[in-house]
Amino acid sequence: MLKNFIIQINKTALIDRFHETETAEELIFQLSTVNPQNGEYAFGCLKFEVNSK
């Protein structure tokens, strides 16, 4: 379900770079995109704590 959500964001936001890092404690998604009007890069990071229960 989470991966489908990320795919939808990718199509909507035109993200050109995507990196996923997973550890025992957290899941991190790093995203970047280019503004088509001025060519500037925008970066974002989503961090989720992993619940081991």
Backbone angles phi, psi at 2, to 5 degrees: -65, -40
Domain extent, residue 21, equals 2-49
* Contact in structure between 50 and 25 (CB atoms under 8 Å): yes
What CATH number is associated with residue 42?
2.20.25
Q: What is the pLDDT of residues 1-53, one digit of tens each?
A: 344 444 444 445 566 677 788 877 888 887 777 777 787 777 777 777 877 55
β partners of residue 32: 17, 43
Number of domains in the chain: 1
pTM: 0.46
